[in-house]
Chain A
Amino acid sequence: MKQHKWRFILPGLVIFVVGVTFPLWYSAVNSTPVPVLSLDTPVINQLQNKECVEDKAFMSADHMKMLHAWRDEVVREGKREYTAKDGRKFEKSLTRTCLSCHSNKEQFCDRCHNYAGAKPTCYDCHIIPEEVKK
C-alpha cells in the first residue's frame, strides 16, 4: 500500500486538474470572438432613428419574454397590436415585425443565440422570409 497508492491518486489528481481547467485548453484551441450583431438590413438602414421595439437593454435581455407574451395575447386573446413604452405601435408578430427589420436572422438572432446557447424552436412552424424568397 505504500508506494502503490500513488498509482491511483496521481492519475486521479491529474484528471481533476485537467478537468477543471478544461475551458482554458478548449479556448486556447478554438478562437472565441464575440459575435458581431449585424444591423445592416434594408429596413433598418431606412430608419431615421435606429431603435428597436423597446430600448436596447430591454430587448437583449427580455425579448424572449416579450415574444412569449405576444404569442399568448395574439393566440388566446386576439390582441394583435403592441404599444411600446414610447407610444409607437407594432403588430405583435414574430415574422412580420421582428424579422422585417432584422431580416438578416442568421447574422443577428442566430449569432447571438448560438453564442448564448439558446435554441428557439419557433421556426419549426413560423417561416423565415429570407429563406422563402430564395
Chain B
Amino acid sequence: MNLLLSFVAVFVIAFLSWAIAAGTTASSVLTMYVPYIVFAVFLGGFVYRIVKWAKAPVPFRIPTTCGQQKGLPWIKNNPVENPAGPWGVIGRMAEEIFLFRSLFRNTDVKMIDGRPVYGSAKWLWFFGLMFHGSLLVVALRHLRFFTEPILPCVNFLAGLDGFFEIGAPALYLSDAALLAGLTYLFLRRVVLPQMRYISLLTDYFALLLIAGIAVTGLLMRHFFPVDLLSVKSTVIGWVTFTPVVPEQAGVLLYMHLGFVFVLMAWLPWSKLMHLGGIFMSPTRNLINNNRSQRHINPWNAPVKVHTYEEYEDEFCDKMKAVGLPVEKE
C-alpha cells in the first residue's frame, strides 16, 4: 500500500512536470521562479533544522561505544571507537561519514537448528556506500552546468568518471553505480518481509524520487539527447539572477527539474536530512569522558535546600528548650 502510494506520488510529479512542459506560462514559471523558491526553502530549512538540533541540550556524553574506554594504563583502550580526546572523535566521525562504519557492523540473524546464529551482513554497507558515493560524484559533476568557465576539477572528475568511454556520449561509471545502489536499496525494502513491514511511505518515496531523477537524467544523456547549450544557458541564467526559459527543452528536462525541485524542497523536512544530521549525532561526535570529567546538567533547577546548620539556626532556642543537643556554641 505504501509502495503503491509512493509510486503514485512519483507519477503525479512526473505527470505535473509533463503538463507544465506543455504550457508556456507554467513552464516559464517553473524554470524562472520556482528554482529560487526551492533553493530558499532548501537552504532555510536546512539551517533551521540544524539550529533546532543544535539547541537541544546535551548534558551528558552518551557512551554508546564499541570499544574499550580509556582507563588504567595497562588496559588496552580503543582510541577511535571510544575516544578520549578530540582526535579520536574526528577519526570516529570521519569513519562514519566517509566509510559508514555503523553499517559495517550490520549483522544478520538466522535460526539454525533452533538456535539464533549471528553473522555479518555487509551488503547494505556495500551498496549504501556505493549509492552515496556515486550520488556525490553525480552532484559534483553537475557543477559543469553551474560554473563558467567550468572548474578544472569538475572536468577532471567527469573524465575519470567516463574513463572507459563506453558509447557516445561516454557512460559515466557513477551513473551505473547509482542505479545499482538504488536498485538494491529498493529491492531490499520490497523483498525482505521484515523490511517491508517497517517501511513507510516516505522510505519508498525517497528512493523512487531519486530513481526518477537518475532515470530522466540518463535518458536525456543517452537516449533522447537534449541541447546542452540551452540547458547550460538556463542554469547559468539562474546563478547570475537573469533567468531565461530554455530554448530547446524536452519533456524529460522538465521532469528531471520537477523531481529535483521536489527533492530539494522536501529534503530538509524528511529523513533525507540525515545529510546534515549525521554531523549532529551525539553518539558519534562526543568525547566519551564521562568518568574523567564531571558534567553538570546545565538546566538543573536551583533546588531549594535547607541544610542542618540553617535548621539549627532557625530552631536553636526551641531545641535548647526541650534539651536536644545542638552542635553550635
Residue pair B43, A61 in contact (C-beta under 8 Å) = no
Residue pair A30, B149 in contact (C-beta under 8 Å) = yes
Is A13 an interface residue when CB atoms closer than 8 A count as contact?
yes
Across the interface, A34 reaches (CB within 8 A) one of B47, B159, B233, namely: B233
Residue pair B248, A57 in contact (C-beta under 8 Å) = yes
Residue pair B144, A116 in contact (C-beta under 8 Å) = yes
Across the interface, B229 reaches (CB within 8 A) one of A24, A62, A116, namely: A116
Task: Tell me the bound Cα distance from A30 to B59 in angstroms.
Answer: 47
Residues of B within 8 A of A2 (CB): 57, 298
Residues of A within 8 A of B279 (CB): 12
Is A80 an interface residue when CB atoms closer than 8 A count as contact?
no
Is B64 an interface residue when CB atoms closer than 8 A count as contact?
no
Residue pair B158, A117 in contact (C-beta under 8 Å) = yes
Is A119 an interface residue when CB atoms closer than 8 A count as contact?
yes
Is A114 an interface residue when CB atoms closer than 8 A count as contact?
yes
Nearest CB to that of B60 among chain A residues? A1
Is B109 an interface residue when CB atoms closer than 8 A count as contact?
no
Is A48 an interface residue when CB atoms closer than 8 A count as contact?
no
Residue pair B168, A65 in contact (C-beta under 8 Å) = yes
Is B103 an interface residue when CB atoms closer than 8 A count as contact?
no
Is B329 an interface residue when CB atoms closer than 8 A count as contact?
no
Decide: A23 near B147, CB < 8 A? Known: A115-B229, A117-B154: yes
Residue pair A32, B236 in contact (C-beta under 8 Å) = yes
Residue pair A6, B54 in contact (C-beta under 8 Å) = yes
Residue pair B240, A20 in contact (C-beta under 8 Å) = no
Residue pair A13, B50 in contact (C-beta under 8 Å) = yes
Nearest CB to that of B285 among chain A residues? A8
Is A39 an interface residue when CB atoms closer than 8 A count as contact?
no
Decide: A116 near B148, CB < 8 A? Known: A9-B54, A24-B239, A27-B240: no
Within B217-245, which residues are at the interface with A (CB < 8 Å)? 225-229, 232-233, 236, 239-240
Residue pair A116, B46 in contact (C-beta under 8 Å) = no
Within A36-80, which residues are at the interface with B (CB < 8 Å)? 57, 60-62, 64-65, 67-68
Residues of B within 8 A of A6 (CB): 54
Q: Give how many A residues have a beta carbon under 8 Å from the other chain's beta carbons.
A: 36
* Most central of B159, B227, B236 by chain A CB within 10 Å: B227
Nearest CB to that of B275 among chain A residues? A16
Across the interface, A16 reaches (CB within 8 A) one of B149, B155, B227, B276, namely: B276
Task: Tell me the bound Cα distance from A64 to B155 in angstroms.
Answer: 18
Residue pair A61, B295 in contact (C-beta under 8 Å) = no
Residues of B within 8 A of A35 (CB): 229
Across the interface, A68 reaches (CB within 8 A) one of B168, B228, B248, namely: B168
Residues of A within 8 A of B8 (CB): none
Within B52-90, which residues are at the interface with A (CB < 8 Å)? 54, 57-59
Nearest CB to that of B42 among chain A residues? A20
Is A17 an interface residue when CB atoms closer than 8 A count as contact?
yes
Is B150 an interface residue when CB atoms closer than 8 A count as contact?
yes
Across the interface, B155 reaches (CB within 8 A) one of A5, A68, A112, A119, namely: A119
13 residue pairs from A and B, CB less than 8 Å apart = A5-B58, A20-B42, A21-B43, A23-B239, A30-B147, A32-B240, A34-B229, A61-B225, A61-B226, A62-B225, A64-B168, A68-B168, A117-B144
Q: Which A-B residue pairs are the 7 nearest by beta carbons?
A: A23-B146, A117-B144, A68-B168, A116-B228, A61-B225, A32-B148, A23-B239
| Apart from A26-B146, A61-B226: 20 A-B pairs, beta carbons within 8 A | A17-B43, A20-B42, A26-B151, A27-B236, A28-B240, A30-B147, A30-B148, A32-B236, A32-B239, A32-B240, A60-B248, A61-B228, A65-B168, A65-B225, A68-B168, A114-B149, A115-B229, A116-B144, A117-B144, A119-B159
